[in-house]
Structure 1
Amino acid sequence: MTERVKELSEHLVTAVQNRKGVQPLTEVYPDLSIDEAYQVQLSTIKRKTDSGQRIVGKKIGLTSKAMQDLLGVGEPDYGHLLDDMVIDNGDEIPADKVLQPKVEAEIAFVLRKDLHGPNVTADDVYEATAYVVPALEIVDSRVADWKIKLPDTIADNASSGLYVLGENKVPIRAVDLPAIKMDLYKNEEPVNSGMGAAALENPANCVAWLANKLSDYGVSLKAGEVILSGALSAAVDAMPGDTFRATFDALGEVTVRFNG
């Protein structure tokens, strides 16, 4: 690990400690590369696991073409899910758990078998998945005002915050993933909707991409892990007191409230 990676990891940790967003990493070091940004992410995750937190899954970001075009990239990114990121369905999120949250609705996969890349296909993902559930991801940024470029969000654990899983565990082959329709409500007002096909045409393609990407770093997806497969529509800003609910065809619903 280079001194620069350590410095940037500490830079992001400072945001959490001070509860205040920090300067973009790409302003601190304009030449920050994608590979170096992943090293920063891994450095911060190691710091957390060394302190007793557990990795319980992964998240995939930038799965929609619109978001890729916005950041000028041609593939998704990924981050780690830790055990302290889990919020139970219907529960409240304490104000001190987030800095500048946004909410996304997506389909979560829970694996029953390991997935080792490279060359993982969507069919392999179907075979390895125990079930799928509706999910809300609370994305968050340690970078002030979400002023991010791709290396910023990658270094910041793909802008991970928290996540909520629904309770309806559906066998993956019992649903047509690309055809699933999602509707997201904020304070019971509809704010957006999307289809499963919004995530690389099939959320299973996202999980396959992740397994293959992780193989570059000698990492595989493990049985029992939760995989958040990518947002089906745009992220929505959240404020104290807001309630979010997402409904999914054939999967049910999931809800969360921000304490305030």
Structure 2
Amino acid sequence: MSLGVSEAAATLLASVDAVAAREPLTKSWPDLDLATAYAIQDESLRKRRVRGETLIGLKLGLTSRAKQLRMGIDSPLLAWLTDAMVLPAGVPVPLGGLIHPRAEPEIVFVMGRRLSGPGVTAATALAAVERVHAGVEIIDSRFEDYKFTLPDAVADNGSSALFGLGPVGVRPERLDLSLEACLLEVDGQVVDTATGAAVQGHPGEALALAANALATRGLAIEPGWIILTGGMTDAVPLAPGSRVAAHFSNLGSVTLSA
């Protein structure tokens, strides 16, 4: 029997708190659609805010074409960021509070102005950005073996867990973000490379897509929000004692230790 929206949100938050994986929602709720999945996500955010968390932005997931083809979709997903997901510089990744964490490098926007769709283009989106940072997101699906459908992932707030930002902030007009390169290291070994073009062809396109998608729900991207534009490479597993570093051509580096 399928869960209701509030019960599904509570169940997923309970998995976060208990650091325990569960079966995908669609196992017992096979007709779960995206609209309902976003309602579950929004209810999870409401519950997080009730317990003291503050909304600080959003993230995009499945922004690379390869990941979209793997999931059988043609558009990214959106999910919420709260202050509880911020990993301060120099603080080790708290693996004991995560189920099966993975790390991926991202280009991150900090918004200077409100951005409201519909009709937002990459150019108008970038004009609303205050600065661009390097970032590493720690994702952590609440579903067993990282196996889920797109509605499951949306309901699970895009597998969100933690993220860290680099100290270098650059005005967007000073960068060619489609060519911004990233080298991903694990324990000193290069494991992947990518450029900003891996993110919807250009991270500005991802930002525009997010603004236009939020507009269909009567929402907008607000000033000061942090926007994670999506993984540039595949996510790499985090093990105890491991060290992940993302080195960018113009945005500096972000290093996380577990």
Identify whether the pair has TM-score above 0.5, normalized to the shorter chain.
yes
Shift of 1:239: 1.1
Counterpart of 1:53, as a letter, is E
Match of 1:127 in 2: 127
- Secondary structure class of the residue paired with 1:13: helix
Question: For each residue in 1:76-124, what CA deviation from the matched residue of structure 2 results, as whole angstroms up to 9, or x when unmatched?
Answer: 0011110011012332112233211110101000000000011111111
Match of 2:235 in 1: 235
Match of 1:143 in 2: 143
- RMSD of aligned residue pairs (Cα, Å): 1.2
**Within 2, Cα distance between the matches of 1:64 and 1:194?**
11
Counterpart of 2:211, as a letter, is A
> Residues 1-260 of structure 1: matches in 2 within 5 Å?
4-258=4-258
Shift of 1:18: 2.4
**Within 1, Cα distance between the matches of 2:216 and 2:186?**
39
4+ residue runs over 6 A deviation: none
Counterpart of 2:160, as a letter, is S
Counterpart of 1:28, as a letter, is S
**Within 1, Cα distance between the matches of 2:119 and 2:177?**
21
Structure 2 residue runs of 5 or longer lacking an equivalent are: none
- Secondary structure class of the residue paired with 2:233: coil
CA contact (8 A) 1:11 1:22 kept: no
**Within 2, Cα distance between the matches of 1:168 and 1:210?**
24
* TM-score, normalised via structure 2 length: 0.97
Question: For each residue in 1:25-65, what CA deviation from the matched residue of structure 2 results, as whole angstroms up to 9, or x when unmatched?
Answer: 11020110011000111111100001111011100001011
**Within 1, Cα distance between the matches of 2:93 and 2:106?**
18
Shift of 1:256: 0.8
Question: For each residue in 1:166-186, what CA deviation from the matched residue of structure 2 results, as whole angstroms up to 9, or x when unmatched?
Answer: 000111111100001100001
CA contact (8 A) 1:90 1:254 kept: no
- Secondary structure class of the residue paired with 1:35: helix
Moved more, 13-22 or 154-163: 13-22
Shift of 1:17: 3.0
Counterpart of 1:95, as a letter, is L
Structure 1 residue runs of 5 or longer lacking an equivalent are: none
Shift of 1:3: 6.4
**Within 1, Cα distance between the matches of 2:28 and 2:187?**
38
Counterpart of 2:172, as a letter, is I
**Within 2, Cα distance between the matches of 1:71 and 1:43?**
24
Shift of 1:9: 1.2
Q: How many pairs does the alignment contain?
A: 257
- Secondary structure class of the residue paired with 2:239: coil
Question: For each residue in 1:179-207, what CA deviation from the matched residue of structure 2 results, as whole angstroms up to 9, or x when unmatched?
Answer: 01100001111111101000011001000
**Within 2, Cα distance between the matches of 1:3 and 1:65?**
32
CA contact (8 A) 2:186 2:244 kept: yes
